[in-house]
């Protein structure tokens, strides 16, 4: 079982819609959870971090954490074409683990 699992997609949403990205992790001891955005050929950039159960909002982005279900999600409201990228979920453990990413396309 992989440490971090994400649906690879691709996920396509129309402009203005809500994009929902999901991630599950295997280590119940994980304490820190991150979402990175990566444009093709570029380096990952951090967009959200979350450490406690519940929701954390930052602009159009909302991260949700449910430690009991070992589940992390990212909601992007009012999706824009510039949000088209691969989104990587990352979780701490014995190492820092990344999922393989979900490719998101926002259709104008």
Partner 1 sequence: EAQVTQNPRYLITVTGKKLTVTCSQNMNHEYMSWYRQDPGLGLRQIYYSMNVEVTDKGDVPEGYKVSRKEKRNFPLILESPSPNQTSLYFCASSFFGVSYNEQFFGPGTRLTVL
Sign of CA dihedral 86, 55, 92, 34: positive
Pick the closer one to partner 1 by CB: 76 or 91.
Answer: 91
CB of 80 to partner 1, least distance (A): 23
Instruction: Give the residue among 83, 85, 86, 107 at the shortest CA–CA distance from 98.
Output: 86
CB of 95 to partner 1, least distance (A): 6
Structure tokens at 32: 């820190």
Contacting positions for partner 1 (CB under 8 A) = 8, 31-32, 34, 41-46, 49, 88, 90, 92, 95-96, 98-101
CB of 78 to partner 1, least distance (A): 25
Pick the closer one to partner 1 by CB: 61 or 98.
Answer: 98
Q: How far is CA 20 from the centre of its chain?
A: 9
Pick the closer one to partner 1 by CB: 19 or 88.
Answer: 88
Phi, psi of 101 (to 5 degrees): 95, 150
């Amino acid at each position: 079982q992989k440490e971090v699992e994400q649906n690879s997609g691709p996920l396509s949403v129309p402009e203005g819609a809500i994009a929902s990205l999901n991630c599950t992790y295997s280590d119940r001891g994980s304490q820190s959870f991150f979402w990175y955005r990566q444009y093709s050929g570029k380096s990952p950039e951090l967009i959200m971090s979350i450490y406690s159960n519940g929701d954390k909002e930052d602009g159009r982005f909302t991260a949700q954490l449910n430690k009991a279900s070992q589940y992390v999600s990212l909601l992007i409201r009012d999706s824009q074409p510039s949000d088209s990228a691969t989104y990587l979920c990352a979780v701490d453990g014995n190492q820092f683990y990344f999922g393989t990413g979900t490719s998101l396309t926002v259709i104008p």
